[in-house]
Structure 1
Amino acid sequence: MADNGVLVCSTLMGETVEQMLKQMQLAKETGADCVELRLDCLNGFDAAGDLEKLLKGRVLPAIITCRPKSEGGNYEGDEQKRLNTLSLAYDLGADFIDVELQAMSPFVSQRSKKNSQNCKIIVSSYVNGSTPSSEDLGHLVAKMQSTGADILKVVTTATNITDVSHIFKLIPHCQVPIIACVMGDRGLISQLLGPKFGGYLIYGSIGSGKDLIPGQPKLADLINIYKIGRLTRDTKVFGVIANPVGHSKGPILHNQAFRETGFNGVYVPLLVDDLSDFLKVYSAPDFAGFSVGIPHKEAAVKCCDEVQPLAKSIGAVNTIVRRKSDGKLVGYNTDCEGAISAIEDGLRGESGYKSSESSSPLAGKLFVLVGAGGAGRALAFGAKQRGARVVITNRNFERAKALANAVGGEAIPMEALERFCPETGMVLANTSAVGMQPNVDSTPLPKEAMEPYSLVFDAVYTPRETRLLREAKEAGKIVVSGLEMFIRQAIGQYELFTGNLAPTELMRKIVIRDF
């Protein structure tokens, strides 16, 4: 059990007893505290023989469940037979039995008493397709508590990340231990932050195939990245707001930096559809700061109470901090300096995070920018500020023209990029999502069109070496990875989040080692 008392559980969905026992061993080695044995996933399940083998061979405490089809499981047989199986597991000494709310009364009536002191009963309710309001969840929990079960389990589905807030409000007010899960990609934080709000148990996948459920984190990530056992009610929540968000490496970097410096914070991925709604719902002081990614950087300017002058002039915010004194949201842009300084150091042939010669190596250069979104705006203003001549292209040409007008630059259509060659020694900077996983074979500019460029920068860092950078390197160009921009902007964010100097060398080491 973790320091904060939360249990980390892996659901095992093997098709044979042998598979389940192997999965259980893997779960133990990875760091699980217990396992959920899904009997409804076993082929040709023999209640007496298979249950005895599983329980005798278990290396971790086991939750026994046989989930019917109506509750999201696979069991379609006789209901009495299913209840008999759960009663048998109770008699054989299972650690927990998970019984659905509608089956609780008949299960209790036929259950023997000989194991009552050792086995805990979990009463569960699955709400398919949505998450009820806080009021409706309260009524449901009251009904579940009336069954006399030892532990409650509520599983809902998120259509929006704001749905999870109902669960966070519910957990602290529950009179008995509660397991609360919100399924779907937008429900991920129900597991990552559940321990902070007092959840009894959270689920992590061992990654064996069937158990890879949307909204359920990997067991290894819970243990190694989020250090879930350290979360307390006082832990400050930070995260990266984006859509999509699964590619972000921010949790790897920021969580380790927080841990190594003794800062009580956790950094989580936040799949957000509407930024304004998200910030209104998650307005508690504990939600202390956010990185802002695609496509929300421009919208973030309007969602903040105050915006740093540089970010306001750029028209894009990549960092939001909730000010302690009054709770107001303040927007910043660390992308600009992060990217521009990385490009400047590339032009100087340097790799370290330094530099401040009086004149920039970008001065007078033609700076060709692909993408007119939030990151593109940051680079356009940064390059212009350093004295570069800025040319912008974008799939939406009107957006390219609007940004070009804002910085006193030039816009060209996307289809003209390959033929654009007014001079040599130009800088190419990609801030679009072209080449990002999973579309790793895409590139904004083919190798044969790179001749006039001296340096190529790609803000994409997943994969670490994009096709654009690989081909630029093959063409003999200076290349600057999006990882450099990521490291530098993250250093700025750490300082804004914590109010402390960033552990620069540590953060660089983490990125080089773990990304």
Structure 2
Amino acid sequence: MRGESLGLRLSGARSAAVLGRPVAHSLSPLLHRSAYAELGLDWTYTAIDCGVAELPAVLAERADWAGFSCTMPLKRALLDVADEVRPVAAAVGAANTLLPAGGSASGGWAADNTDVAGIVAALAEHAVAPRSVTILGAGGTAQAALAALTVLGVDACSVLVRDPARADGVRAVAERLGVGLAFRPLAAEAPEFGADLVISTLPAGVADPLAARRWTPGQTVFDVVYSPWPTALAAAADAGGARVVSGALLLLHQAAAQVSLMTGQEAPVSAMRAALAAALPTTDL
């Protein structure tokens, strides 16, 4: 039986879910259910609409669940409700995963962050090894991107932001990780767009005006948006000869890491990739 490489074998029906608001559009149920089917687990995975105020009650009512994937607006709130904050989540200052603390339902919840592993794995698929990096945006995903850069051996980068006053989270992460930052206004003419790797953590549509600038071979543009795809930014970068990495790869790999953490088994990435490719037929996976 596959999945016993971690020395754990789970049996019986269990439940997990993705929490967030809005959450109806989430592809996490598709990814996790495809993993359970491949692993032969009789588990359920649902989407639960949940804001910050409702989070403690939602968790209290599901104390015996296997875990939760969490999206906005909960990523920072998880650190406040968790009984344990694991090192990656503490470094990033945000979490996207809740697991039973101590491995049991009686120990409360542990907050973890698989976005970092997802970014690293997505870039690894394209053998990206940048010397210079520019991050667009300063939210929770930008914070995870900073942590991922340290795994790649990058100790300094530029951050282009619309509002520097809202970049305190990124500054705090950089200080904890020892990453040097240079903040610049988010503008299409910024010379920092010439970096080896440009990571856009901006919401869908916000980066569209940046598509007009010139992109070149040798560059990599990683747009964390995955729908609609290609984004204007991704299409322009591809037309200019740059390597393009889709946010769908981040979605895939962060979910695979969650599956491993929740089940104790090796995530069936190929089955999950096939399910995601069917749901996002225009995305290169």
Tell me, yes or no, if structure 1 residue 343 matches structure 2 residue 123.
yes
Separation in 1, partners of 2:182, 2:28: 34
Which aligned runs of 4 or more in structure 1 are off by greater than 6 angstroms?
Answer: none
Q: CA 1:504–1:398 in 2, change beyond 3 Å: closer, same or farther?
A: same
Q: Deviations over 1:79-100 (max 9, x none)?
A: xxxxxxxxxxxxxxxxxxxxxx
Tell me, yes or no, if structure 1 residue 250 matches structure 2 residue 15.
no
Separation in 2, partners of 1:453, 1:402: 30
Q: CA 1:256–1:341 in 2, change beyond 3 Å: closer, same or farther?
A: closer
Tell me, yes or no, if structure 1 residue 271 matches structure 2 residue 43.
no
Identical amino acids, percent of aligned pairs: 29
Match of 2:167 in 1: 400
Q: CA 1:426–1:401 in 2, change beyond 3 Å: closer, same or farther?
A: farther
Offset, 1:468: 1.7
Equivalent residues in 2 for 1:85-484, closer than 5 Å: 235-274=13-52, 277-283=54-60, 284-322=62-100, 323-324=103-104, 326-348=106-128, 361-362=129-130, 365-388=131-154, 389-400=156-167, 402-404=169-171, 406-407=173-174, 408-414=180-186, 417-422=187-192, 424-435=194-205, 443=208, 445-451=210-216, 454-484=219-249
Q: TM-score, normalised by structure 1?
A: 0.47
What is the letter of the counterpart of residue 434 of structure 1?
A
Offset, 1:449: 4.6
Q: Highest CA radius of gyration, 1 or 2?
A: 1
What is the letter of the counterpart of residue 25 of structure 2?
H
Separation in 1, partners of 2:40, 2:217: 48
Offset, 1:448: 1.9
Tell me, yes or no, if the aligned pair for 2:18 and 2:71 is still in contact at 8 Å: yes
Please list every run of 5 or more consecutive structure 1 residues that lacks an aligned counterpart in the other structure: 1-233, 349-360
Give RMSD over aligned pairs. Answer: 2.4
Separation in 1, partners of 2:168, 2:95: 21
Residue correspondences, number:
260
Separation in 1, partners of 2:94, 2:214: 30
Separation in 2, partners of 1:297, 1:390: 23
Tell me, yes or no, if the aligned pair for 1:430 and 1:459 is still in contact at 8 Å: yes
Q: TM-score, normalised by structure 2?
A: 0.82
Separation in 2, partners of 1:245, 1:403: 25
Q: Deviations over 1:32-62 (max 9, x none)?
A: xxxxxxxxxxxxxxxxxxxxxxxxxxxxxxx
SS state of the match for residue 390, structure 1? strand
Please list every run of 5 or more consecutive structure 2 residues that lacks an aligned counterpart in the other structure: 1-11, 175-179, 281-285
Tell me, yes or no, if the aligned pair for 1:371 and 1:394 is still in contact at 8 Å: yes
Q: CA 1:459–1:422 in 2, change beyond 3 Å: closer, same or farther?
A: closer
Tell me, yes or no, if the aligned pair for 2:137 and 2:202 is still in contact at 8 Å: yes
Offset, 1:428: 1.0
Tell me, yes or no, if the aligned pair for 1:425 and 1:453 is still in contact at 8 Å: no
Q: CA 1:305–1:246 in 2, change beyond 3 Å: closer, same or farther?
A: same
